[in-house]
Amino acid sequence: MQAEASTETVSLIIAKFDKTLHDRSAFSCGFAPIDNFLKSSLSDQVRDGMVTAWLATAEGDRAVLGFYTLGAMAVRANLGPKAWQRARVPDIPVIYIRAVAVHESLHGKGIGTALVIDAIKRCAAIAEQMGAAAVVLDVLKDKHFDRRWKFYADLGFLPLLDPDNPHRVYMSMADIRATLAHA
């Protein structure tokens, strides 16, 4: 997690999703499936226990500036580091960041970094309560893929080398704990 959040223009409030507190109506990250997920599916997925969501707003404003979601997942042990393979289990529990998105007018302002750092810290706390060997996410494949790939690499994410999903990256919980201990 080398990059630091600079949110130079906005004082962010990152809070657990609450329909009454978060106005999602004007949100657009520039990728329609993510925009539609936030506006149409998020409430149902939160209600059904599929994800938890954390939304960023500016202090005193309900408009959503960005968000991320977390869920449980398992990955095949043979895809990760050698320590996973030595565990002698077929699947490794991880925390999955399903989505990270920032309003397109705020791209490059540090909000994405602030959201990912918040998510990683939250994942470390979750991992203290239940087994989770890593944080995993999929880098969206579109015209901004190279920029996103670099963004996650700069934060310390590594390719999982999943032949079924070559855009999946991870950060081990051991690396997260070590980084947070030095922060």
Q: Give the DSSP per-residue string, 13-78.
A: EEEE--TTT-B-TT---S-HHHHHIIIIIHHHHHHTTS-EEEEEEETT--BEEEEEEEEEEEEEGG
Count of domains in the chain? 1
68, part of any domain: yes
- Domain membership of residue 59 (yes or no) is yes
Region 149-176 average pLDDT = 95
Is position 1 within any domain? no
Q: Are 28 and 103 in contact (CB under 8 A)?
A: yes
Q: pTM here?
A: 0.90
* Domain assignment of residue 5, yes or no: no
pLDDT band at 83 (very low <50, low <70, confident <90, very high): confident
94-144: pLDDT as tens digits: 999 999 999 999 999 999 999 999 999 999 999 999 999 999 999 999 888
For position 101, which CATH number holds? 3.40.630.30
What pLDDT is attached to residue 80?
84
